[in-house]
Structure 1
Amino acid sequence: MKTQGKRRQVLHRTSFVVLSALFTTGFGIMALGFAVSMLGGVPPRGPLAVVAASLGVIAFCRRITGSRIVLGPRVLSVVNPVFTYEVPYRYVARVGSDRRGNLVVTTREAVDIRSVGFAGSLIDHFVGSTDRAVAELKAALAEPRDLRGDSRPVRRWTRSWVADGCTAGMLVCIVLAVFANA
């Protein structure tokens, strides 16, 4: 787990950063290698399928490993693979973990928001990164903040430029593979 900055804190698992770099680099090199092999006259259907699969793995891994919690000036953001929840601090009722070790932010409207970035796991049972994240969140929420404003909790689609670009590239490769040698 790592925090950055004074105005804006980002909580995420360090292992997610390492895994993201490994998967992106490894599968990116593989996709590039097969893309280059098509320049040598290899029939494109097979290499295009491998490039599409590699881009799909990168997109999936980047979405999962991009999960984090951001403490902004006025909003607590829980960034999950598909949705990002932005909760103004005045709407945060409770931060804790459930019996399975998942980090849960409960709003004043009794909505539980679970963080994929701090979901319970066997390793976390021994390492305790979720418990440390809960303690950091509670300490950050106890700090005096400007609670003015009339915004309400918002759920929106999570943007991940690398994952979205890889997904688009994967779809292009699939279409090209379907029509290759046709």
Structure 2
Amino acid sequence: MLAAVYKVTSVNGFRAGWQGIPIYLALAGITGRVANCKVILRENMLTLVNPVRSHSLPKTAIRRVSVGDDGTLEVHLDKDRIVPVFAFGGSLIDHFKGSSAEAQRRISAWLGSAGAESESKALAPQIHWTRCPAADASLVLCADLSVAGAIWMALTGN
């Protein structure tokens, strides 16, 4: 992407070339958020980091784990609530590699293991915004540069 911005700038000038920079920053921010997705198993807590929202689930709140029809790993809670796991979203690679099924086996084994039940009973499932500083900075820079560039082009327009 940087090479494309450089090429457009060298052929058409900076006025046209700078416009690729916010696109690059937006793609880097979105890609960074997706790459940040993961599943974290702790002694009595399962943390699901999705692109926008993360879920901290105590062991006692989880009823079961399954792989949906589309290959997405799903964590089932009480009251028929289901939390999809973006990190195991049933991609084409997963179809051949079976990573969602492997994650399901590991989490099911973790659920069946003895843990600190008394500590986790006091905890409730929590949902919070996913923090990804590098991706968020990229998206903020994209917005700032877009606004500044639009103002600059409006003031120097021909």
How would you bin the TM-score normalised by the shorter chain? Answer: 0.7 to 0.9
In the aligned structure 2, how far is the partner of 1:121 from the partner of 1:164? 25
The answer to whether the aligner puts 1:130 opposite 2:100 as a matched pair is: yes
The answer to whether the aligner puts 1:51 opposite 2:21 as a matched pair is: yes
In the aligned structure 2, how far is the partner of 1:157 from the partner of 1:111? 19
In the aligned structure 2, how far is the partner of 1:81 from the partner of 1:55? 16
Opposite residue 41 of structure 2, the aligned amino acid is L
The residue aligned with 1:104 is 74
The answer to whether the aligner puts 1:94 opposite 2:64 as a matched pair is: yes
In the aligned structure 2, how far is the partner of 1:126 from the partner of 1:91? 31
Q: TM-score, normalised by structure 1?
A: 0.73
What's the RMSD between the two structures over aligned residues? 2.0
The residue aligned with 1:168 is 140
Moved over 3 A (4+): none
Q: TM-score, normalised by structure 2?
A: 0.83
In the aligned structure 2, how far is the partner of 1:62 from the partner of 1:109? 33
* 1:72-129 alpha-carbon deviations (Å, 9 max, x no partner): 2332111111111111111010011112211000012321001111011233222111
Q: 1:71 aligns with which of 37, 41, 44?
A: 41
Q: Any gaps of 5 or more consecutive residues in structure 2? A: none
CA contact (8 A) 1:94 1:105 kept: yes
Shift of 1:151: 1.9
Opposite residue 79 of structure 1, the aligned amino acid is V
In the aligned structure 2, how far is the partner of 1:123 from the partner of 1:162? 26
Opposite residue 130 of structure 2, the aligned amino acid is T
In the aligned structure 1, how far is the partner of 2:93 from the partner of 2:23? 29
Opposite residue 109 of structure 1, the aligned amino acid is K
1:111-126 correspondence to structure 2 within 5 Å: 111-126=81-96
Number of aligned residue pairs: give it: 147
Q: Secondary structure at the match of 2:83?
A: strand
In the aligned structure 2, how far is the partner of 1:48 from the partner of 1:71? 43
In the aligned structure 2, how far is the partner of 1:170 from the partner of 1:99? 37
Shift of 1:130: 0.7
Shift of 1:134: 0.7
In the aligned structure 2, how far is the partner of 1:61 from the partner of 1:135? 28
